[in-house]
């Protein structure tokens, strides 16, 4: 504090007279000005003092350092923090010796702190000011008039932790002082009366907010723009959760606000990460508060926050080193170390993988979680949880890979979330003590009715646009989750009103609120009184006990007895003992679920030409679904669109194309050689697909992934894997060949197009335009027969049509044949809001939209011409007035250029999520293929709930049930194809549930876990047969 000057005061009227002429004695004149300034300060006339001293400096070019001390103090008293800082730095400088250098220094500081253009307040708010979350929460509770003390408790707790609820400038000695000041600021911000140009948010050179946290919190809450300035203070205070773990700077004396004169050297390492409580000067912020603040950050920054879980299977994993790896690529928002029992760990896995089909469902009590638990919780160790912030999901995936690679740990040791919904589910299950308490008991023994009602409740809330943050489930649902008894309906509390529902299974508990002993708000908004399940709030068990104790109906008394038994200490000990015995059994007795025989660990090598296109996409999905079920398999490709876990290029020197695909030089050599050979057949018909020679230069015997494989699964391998070139190596391997087309059983073509010669021996090939018996097709057929005879092949057909082709073929009929259809990721391909998508694409909502999609729209076999003829036929029936045609694939724009219809075309759509939106947006998908295997277009469309009209060809009838989820027309009959489209129009007008039936088909018969389980069963059968054959041969030799 500047000392007071005790000379007699000069009246305000004499100010100008005292300094009307240029001084003869500069020092004496300056002292007189200083004396007057002190007197104005003592009278608290700060604005007059500020104006007087600035005028004096400008008029007389006086640059006494005392002036800068005074003006810095005046600015501080009047909240001109940026100016205060500039003058203070000028006064502090030891290098200023001339008036010019002082003037330059002042101007440079003022330029530095000049307010920037207004921006959204949320853009300034970053993880380094964790305390702002408590301030925003206080405002939310205050302005929403929430009847709960939680908001004020949190605000008080965080203030006490940071500064002991004491601030010197301006003086605040109590919580009441803070609240009054905060509310005053927030009102100004709300009414757009706060001058952010005069009082901007101050940032240091690391973009840390060092002043203005209360006004920033206000601007965030009211969604206002702010101005900000930079000050050159590299060691400014940091309020991150991590730096608050270990404040070690003894010189730190932050007396309040973020006055730039008081600084702290933050903790820059994670050595103290395990001590995860926020503390300062011995004052600890309770875990319940910091957990809540982390969830609030997640709600505010929802799109860019992800979770990382290090499961106990990471053993003695170095958490600090892991944190340093994470921090290289993302900001760590929060960290928590938790000791989970089996039930808690299992629930965590369900929350993490709920969108995966393999996790199971309520009917099998999420059986997949048990398998995953045994992999993730192999050690008695802590589960470590991180919340991180990054604007790129690929960064999250890269962090996961880095952690696995650096510590040489398995894929069941690290989990990262990939969406806000998943992050929220996981975080709310771990960052709420009531959630952790509930999950101790959650076993899904009494949840069948509850869960079905709960699914309906979530859909109802979504359809009615109910904000789930302002609703809480209560009643007997809580007893179901605590494994006490089943519930038959869903009771809820909602802050605003009783909400309309068309079922008795969901009802408001408003009439019972008098028995709760809490207000609506205190249950819904106070985390002490609720827990989360699948991200939705439920009243805590203590709240339910209080309700039942106060209401005291007979059913309540019965429930209280059940609750007492359930939470009794002896009961818990018995349950724990039973759980240990069950765990021991599951670990020591492992047999195949299908053969009931001891299993051999699977090592699968999947081969495909590429990881995109129809066959490549299908093969990649199988690979990823097998990995999800912990099947060790590698996906080896010649050409790669994107690196994924478990994928590997067959070449070490790929060429990166302009569209960011890795193309193998060997593939280009193959294409050139293939074209050269085919050029010898000048009469080959135009418009046909590829005709492939079976020879390729890639050698695989030295590839470690292939050498270690006990089964090799071939997919579409033309130009990728020459079987003859690798015969000596392959004949000792078990081979599964998944047929994505007919090439494996023909003399070079990929679809026979009605030709039957593959049933004997090829020759005089119509696709070559050849009339010679011993043409290229015959030579290829002979080469394949020579190789196939020496291989151990098991054939997988995707449908009955392909299985029949194999049985009738001369090349593969002698090998075992299994039918396993492809799966589709139903978590990606699912229904999305049709109207919203159409609006974004400017497609009329009242139009009847038809979709055609293929890798190449102009491919003759895909039958686009038959769709055009069908649409022209609809014209003759006067049914084309409101039809729109959407196409996607190569040459899509060219194919629709001259059509007399409303058309919308897309070229190759790379992202599956975008493709799912297209399927959801249309009314029908048409697949007029003259010959096809199991096209992904049909599976993806059905999964999105869009029915399909197509020709009764190839494997299409295996997916389309006539007049159930679509319509089958005779091959090549465009009029019947048109009638199928007409039938779909009528069905949709009548409100048919055909879209629901389409989705159900995909979920029932074409889900990825079903496909992966079928392959796993097949692989184990092959290996078990090998094991049995080896035992027999050993016995015979003895």
Block means of pLDDT (10 residues each) for the chain, 1038 residues, are 28 42 62 82 82 78 68 73 64 48 50 65 83 93 92 90 70 82 92 86 78 90 88 48 33 27 26 40 76 92 89 74 86 90 91 88 84 84 90 88 79 87 94 93 81 88 82 92 88 76 79 87 94 95 92 88 69 42 36 46 89 92 89 89 82 57 78 89 86 85 84 91 86 94 94 93 94 94 94 96 96 95 94 92 93 90 94 83 89 84 86 93 96 95 96 96 95 95 92 92 91 92 70 45
Q: How far apart are the first and last CA of the chain?
A: 101
Find the length of the chain: 1038
Question: Does residue 279 contact residue 247 with C-beta atoms inside 8 Å?
Answer: yes
pLDDT confidence of residue 766: 94
| DSSP assignment letter at 354 | T
pLDDT confidence of residue 496: 66
pLDDT confidence of residue 89: 62
pLDDT confidence of residue 568: 59
pLDDT confidence of residue 972: 94
Distance between CA atoms of residues 984 and 962, nearest Å: 11
Tokens describing residue 797: 């057909």
Distance between CA atoms of residues 999 and 1021, nearest Å: 32
Question: Does residue 751 contact residue 642 with C-beta atoms inside 8 Å?
Answer: no
Distance between CA atoms of residues 435 and 438, nearest Å: 5
Tokens describing residue 64: 């006494």
Distance between CA atoms of residues 698 and 681, nearest Å: 26
pLDDT confidence of residue 275: 35
Distance between CA atoms of residues 488 and 451, nearest Å: 10
Q: Are strands 603-610 and 201-203 parallel, antiparallel or unpaired?
A: unpaired
Distance between CA atoms of residues 593 and 604, nearest Å: 19
Torsion of CA 677, 679, 684, 685, to 10 degrees: 120
Helical ranges in 700-775 per DSSP H: 704-707, 727-730
pLDDT confidence of residue 668: 82
Q: Is the Cα torsion angle 105, 106, 108, 109 positive or negative in sign?
A: positive
CATH topology of domain 834-1006: Rossmann fold (3.40.50)
Q: Are strands 734-739 and 711-714 parallel, antiparallel or unpaired?
A: parallel
φ, ψ of residue 180 to 5 degrees: the values are -60, -45
User: Are 288-431 and 604-819 in the same CATH fold?
Assistant: no
How far is C-alpha 415 from the chain's CA centre? 12
Distance between CA atoms of residues 608 and 623, nearest Å: 11
| DSSP assignment letter at 1007 | B
| DSSP assignment letter at 957 | G
Strand arrangement, sheet containing 201-203? 209-211, 201-203, 228-230
Cis peptide before 170 (omega within 30 of 0): yes
Q: What residues are paired with 737 via a beta bridge?
A: 714, 795
Among 743, 798, 394, which Cα is nearest to 622's? Answer: 798
Distance between CA atoms of residues 716 and 871, nearest Å: 34
Contacts for 874 with CB less than 8 Å, ≥ 6 apart? 880, 883, 978, 981, 982
CATH topology of domain 604-819: Rossmann fold (3.40.50)
pLDDT confidence of residue 702: 81
Say which CATH architecture domain 288-431 belongs to: 2-Layer Sandwich (3.30)
Q: Residue ranges of the domains in the chain? A: 24-95, 113-230, 288-431, 447-496+505-571, 604-819, 834-1006
């Amino acid at each position: 504090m500047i000392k007071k000057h005790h000379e007699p005061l000069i009246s305000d009227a004499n100010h100008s007279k005292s300094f009307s002429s240029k001084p003869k004695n500069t020092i004496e004149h300056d002292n007189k000005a200083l004396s007057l300034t002190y007197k104005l300060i003592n009278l608290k006339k700060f604005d007059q003092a500020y104006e007087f001293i600035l005028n004096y400096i400008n008029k007389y070019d006086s640059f006494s350092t005392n002036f800068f001390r005074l003006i810095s103090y005046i600015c501080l008293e009047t909240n001109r923090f940026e100016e205060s800082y500039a003058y203070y730095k000028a006064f502090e400088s030891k290098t200023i010796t001339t008036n010019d250098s002082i003037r330059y220094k002042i101007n440079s500081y003022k330029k530095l702190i000049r307010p920037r253009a207004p921006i959204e307040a949320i853009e300034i708010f970053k993880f380094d000011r964790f305390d702002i979350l408590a301030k925003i929460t206080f405002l939310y509770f205050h302005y929403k008039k929430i009847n709960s003390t939680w908001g004020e408790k949190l605000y008080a707790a965080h203030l006490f932790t940071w500064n002991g609820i004491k601030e010197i400038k301006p003086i605040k000695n109590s919580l009441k002082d803070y609240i009054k000041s905060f509310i005053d600021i927030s009102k100004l911000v709300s009414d757009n009366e706060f001058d952010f140009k005069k009082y901007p948010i101050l940032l240091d050179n690391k973009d840390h907010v060092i002043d203005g946290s209360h006004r920033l919190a206000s601007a965030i809450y009211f969604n206002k723009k702010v101005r900000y300035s930079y000050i050159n203070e590299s060691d400014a205070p940091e309020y991150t959760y991590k730096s608050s773990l270990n404040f070690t700077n003894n010189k730190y004396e932050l007396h309040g606000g973020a006055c730039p004169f008081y600084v702290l050297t933050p903790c820059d390492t994670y050595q103290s990460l395990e001590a995860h409580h926020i503390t300062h000067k011995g004052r600890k912020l309770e875990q319940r508060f910091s957990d809540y603040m982390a969830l609030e950050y997640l709600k505010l920054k929802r799109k860019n926050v992800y979770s990382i879980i290090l499961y106990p299977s990471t053993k003695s994993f170095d958490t600090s080193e892991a944190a340093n790896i994470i921090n290289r690529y993302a900001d760590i928002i929060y960290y928590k170390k938790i000791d989970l029992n089996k039930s808690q760990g299992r629930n965590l896995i369900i929350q993490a993988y709920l969108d995966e089909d393999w996790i199971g469902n309520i009917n099998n009590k999420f059986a997949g979680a048990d398998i995953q638990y045994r992999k993730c919780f192999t050690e008695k160790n802590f589960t470590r949880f991180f919340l991180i912030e990054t604007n790129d999901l690929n960064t999250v995936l890269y962090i996961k890979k880095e952690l696995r690679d650096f510590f040489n740990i398995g894929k069941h040791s690290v989990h990262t979330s990939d969406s806000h919904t998943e992050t929220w589910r996981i975080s709310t299950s771990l960052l709420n003590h009531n959630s952790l308490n509930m999950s101790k008991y959650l076993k899904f023994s009494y949840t069948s009715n509850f869960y079905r009602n709960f699914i309906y409740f979530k859909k109802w809330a979504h359809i009615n646009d109910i904000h789930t943050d302002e609703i809480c489930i209560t009643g007997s649902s809580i007893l179901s989750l605590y494994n006490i008894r089943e519930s038959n309906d869903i009771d809820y509390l909602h802050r605003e009103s009783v909400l309309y529902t068309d079922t008795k299974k969901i009802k408001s508990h408003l009439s019972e609120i008098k028995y709760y002993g809490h207000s609506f708000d205190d249950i819904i908004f106070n985390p002490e009184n609720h827990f989360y399940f699948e991200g939705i709030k439920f009243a805590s068990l203590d709240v339910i006990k209080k309700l039942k104790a106060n209401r005291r109906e007979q059913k309540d008394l019965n429930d209280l007895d059940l609750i007492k038994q359930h939470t009794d200490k002896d009961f818990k000990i018995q349950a724990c003992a039973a759980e240990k015995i069950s765990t021991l059994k599951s670990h020591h007795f492992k047999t195949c679920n299908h053969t009931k025989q001891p299993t051999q660990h699977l090592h699968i090598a999947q081969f495909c030409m590429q990881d995109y296109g129809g066959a490549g996409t299908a093969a990649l999905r199988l690979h990823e679904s097998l990995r999800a079920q912990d099947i060790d398999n590698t996906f080896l490709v010649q050409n790669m669109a994107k690196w994924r876990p478990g994928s590997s290029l067959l070449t070490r020197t790929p060429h990166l194309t302009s569209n960011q695909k890795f193309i193998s030089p060997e593939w280009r050599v193959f294409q050139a050689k293939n074209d050269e050979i085919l050029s010898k057949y000048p009469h080959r018909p135009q418009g046909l697909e590829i005709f492939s020679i079976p020879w390729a230069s890639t050698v695989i015997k030295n590839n470690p992934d292939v050498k270690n494989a006990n089964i090799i699964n071939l997919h579409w391998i033309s130009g990728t894997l020459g079987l003859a070139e690798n015969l000596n190596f392959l004949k000792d391997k078990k081979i599964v060949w998944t047929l994505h087309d007919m090439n494996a059983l023909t003399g070079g073509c990929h679809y026979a197009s009605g030709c039957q010669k593959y049933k004997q021996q090829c020759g005089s090939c119509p696709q070559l335009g050849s009339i010679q018996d011993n043409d290229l097709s015959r030579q290829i057929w002979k080469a394949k027969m020579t190789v196939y005879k020496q291989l151990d092949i098991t054939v997988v057909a995707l449908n009955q049509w392909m299985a029949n082709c194999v049985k009738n073929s001369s090349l593969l009929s002698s090998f075992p044949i299994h039918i396993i259809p492809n799966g589709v990721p139903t978590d990606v391909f699912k229904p999305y809001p049709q109207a919203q998508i159409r609006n974004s694409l400017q497609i009329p909502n009242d139009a009847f939209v038809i979709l055609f999609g293929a890798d190449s729209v102009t491919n003759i076999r895909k039958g686009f011409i038959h769709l055009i003829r069908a649409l022209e036929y609809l014209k003759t029936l006067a049914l084309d007035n409101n039809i729109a045609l959407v196409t996607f694939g190569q040459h899509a724009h060219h194919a629709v250029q001259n059509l007399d219809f409303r058309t919308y075309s897309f070229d190759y759509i790379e992202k599956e999520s975008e493709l799912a939106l297209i399927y959801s947006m249309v009314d029908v998908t048409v697949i007029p293929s003259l010959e096809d295997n199991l096209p992904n277009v049909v599976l993806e469309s059905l999964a999105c709930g869009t029915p399909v009209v197509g020709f009764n060809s190839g494997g299409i009838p295996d997916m389309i049930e006539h007049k159930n989820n679509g319509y089958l027309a005779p091959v090549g009959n465009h009029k019947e194809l048109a009638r199928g489209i007409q039938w779909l129009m009528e069905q949709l007008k009548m409100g048919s549930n055909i879209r629901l039936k389409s989705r159900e088909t995909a979920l029932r018969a074409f889900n990825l876990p079903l496909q992966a389980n079928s392959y796993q069963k097949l692989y184990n059968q092959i290996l078990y047969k090998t094991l049995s054959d080896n035992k027999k041969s050993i016995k015979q030799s003895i």
